Amino acid sequence: MLNPFSHHWSPMRLFQRLLIPPLLKPWLLDKGSLTEKLRNQFGDIEVEVLSECLETPMVTESMQLGLATDEKAWVRCVCLSAEQVPLIYARTVIPNWQPNNPWYQLKQLGNRPLGEVLFQIPHLQRTPFELSRHRCEYWPHLKTDSPQALTFARRSIFKQQQAPLLLTEAFLTPFKV
């Protein structure tokens, strides 16, 4: 059986055997726009950009994208909140960050949610979710009063013109639905 506290990512079909809180399960497994779902539940959603730069991805991200461990990618980390309560930590990793990359225009997102753009792209491909659990301290740039608190997280790769974008979303401890 999978260890829910490891840093390993598992395919959704295997991870579902673990104890996912019943109220979180429909959120964690929903394939639609998380931003839209959050807005429907909580109203206004604020996006705080925690970091946005060219950097070396985390080892598991490099492996998932087939990158060399020292290869740089564009990495954007944000926190989505409702009424100043952090709900989601989201991390976007885009390799081959050049003007001819179809994702390059995302550098102008600012504090807009990525979901507003992603789900408007025709013929967008998305891989099945991988799921994991991590302590808050695992997530780079996340400001938290509870670094040891556990989060459920999901990730998948979106492809546009064969260019990958890895999106990871961690559901923070105060997240309640």
State phi, psi for 133 to the nearest 5 degrees: -130, 140
pLDDT reported for residue 102? 96
pLDDT reported for residue 43? 92
| pLDDT string in tens for the chain (177-residue length) | 334 444 578 776 666 656 678 888 889 889 899 999 999 999 999 999 999 999 999 999 999 999 999 999 999 999 999 999 999 999 999 999 999 999 999 999 999 999 999 999 988 999 999 998 888 888 889 988 788 888 899 999 999 999 999 999 999 965 544
Tokens for 110, please give them.
């600012």
Going from N- to C-terminal start, the domains of the chain cover 10-171
pLDDT reported for residue 17? 59
pLDDT reported for residue 113? 95
Can you give the pTM of this predicted structure? 0.90
CB-CB neighbours of 109 under 10 Å: 17
CATH number of 10-171: 3.40.1410.10
Q: Which residues pair with 85 in a beta bridge?
A: 82
Provide Rg for the chain, Cα atoms. 15
Place of tokens 């807009």: 112
CB-CB neighbours of 24 under 10 Å: 14
- The two counts, helices (H) then strands (E), for the chain are 5, 8
Beta strands in the chain (DSSP E): 10-11, 46-55, 73-82, 85-94, 125-126, 130-135, 150-160, 163-171
Q: What's the Cα-to-Cα distance from 105 to each of 47, 78, 85, 97, 144, rounded to whole Å?
A: 18, 17, 29, 10, 30
